[in-house]
Amino acid sequence: MRLAIHGVTGRMGQAVTRIAASEGISIVGAIASSGSAGLGRDAGEIAGAGAVGTIVTADAASGLLGSDVVIDFSQPAALPHLLKLAMREKIAVVSGTTRLDATGERLLDEAAKIVPVLWAANTSLGVQVLAELVTLAVQKLGLGFDVEIVETHHRAKIDAPSGTAERLRLAVEEARGELHRVAGREGNVGPRKPDEIGVLAMRGGDVIGDHTIHLLGHGERLELTHRATNRDLFARGALRAARFLHGKPAGRYTMADLLRG
């Protein structure tokens, strides 16, 4: 598998580079934004993995040349251009970029008609299993249990709630579609409504990412938690997804498909 990395100088891009290099994966493309300080440098050296022989470029078209799969951890505004190039060059796409607008969502579907595409708000295998467990638990426990989601991230995170929290909310709604999101509570809000699902964000320190789903019943409660202690776990999941997509026919794939093999 010949790999290109889009967003290569970011924290996730560097993690993907470092782990891919340690596993002997051929990194043939390294793409960053035009304002990146890493342009013109070896991608492996930026990631602390030693030279991999691939220079970081802002030209996505040249950065994709010769690749079978591109892993994208970039910005929402950069993804549409990447998808158009991937369609043209017939390159599979694994993307963990969140907060996509309608254009980005539409282009994911369009690209999937031509190449294999796997987009995930979180490329952790554990989070995928958590989402499946959440759907099952909500189905089994039924209307007698209230559902709340609490996510915690480092103080520098700029968006809330996290994409993973939104993914888990959708997992809840697979079982109980009548719920509507409440982002916070303050003042005399009255008793909790039965059709609410609270999605609450905590920020501080250097927390990589913690997500807990609270299922609160009468006399008992169930808490399902995933804690990320190192960003490498997301990079490993993305690389596993890239291997999974390599050679697959065009279509939209998910982390659930990966776990099914």
Give yes or no for residue 261 having a pLDDT over 90.
Answer: no
Strand 209-216 with 251-253, pairing: unpaired
- Looking at residue 99, its pLDDT comes to 87
Q: Which ranges in the chain are annotated with CATH 3.40.50.720?
A: 2-119+232-260
2-119+232-260 has CATH 3.40.50.720 classification: yes
- pLDDT tens profile 132-182: 999 999 999 999 999 999 999 999 998 899 999 999 999 999 999 999 999
- Looking at residue 15, its pLDDT comes to 97
Determine whether 157 is an active site residue. yes
Determine whether 153 is an active site residue. yes
Q: What stretch of H or E contains 19?
A: helix 11-22
- pLDDT tens profile 85-139: 999 999 999 999 988 999 999 999 999 999 999 999 899 999 999 999 999 999 9
Q: Pick 39 or 35 by higher pLDDT.
A: 39
**Cβ–Cβ contacts within 10 Å for residue 229, how many?**
10
Q: The whole model's pTM is what?
A: 0.89
Query: 70 in helix, strand or coil?
Result: strand
Using H for helix, E for strand and C for coil, what is the string for 158-207? CCCCCHHHHHHHHHHHHHCCCCEEECCCCCCCCCCCCCEEEEEEEECCCC
Active-site residue among 84, 113, 154, 157? 157
- pLDDT tens profile 189-237: 999 999 999 999 999 999 999 999 999 999 999 999 999 999 899 999 9
CATH code for residues 125-228: 3.30.360.10
- pLDDT tens profile 58-89: 999 999 999 999 999 999 999 999 999 999 99
- Looking at residue 130, its pLDDT comes to 97
Do 235 and 16 form a contact (C-beta atoms < 8 A)?
A: yes
Rounded CA gap, 135 and 17, in Å?
A: 34
- pLDDT tens profile 41-54: 999 999 999 999 99
- Looking at residue 184, its pLDDT comes to 87
Query: 12 in helix, strand or coil?
Result: helix
- Looking at residue 101, its pLDDT comes to 93
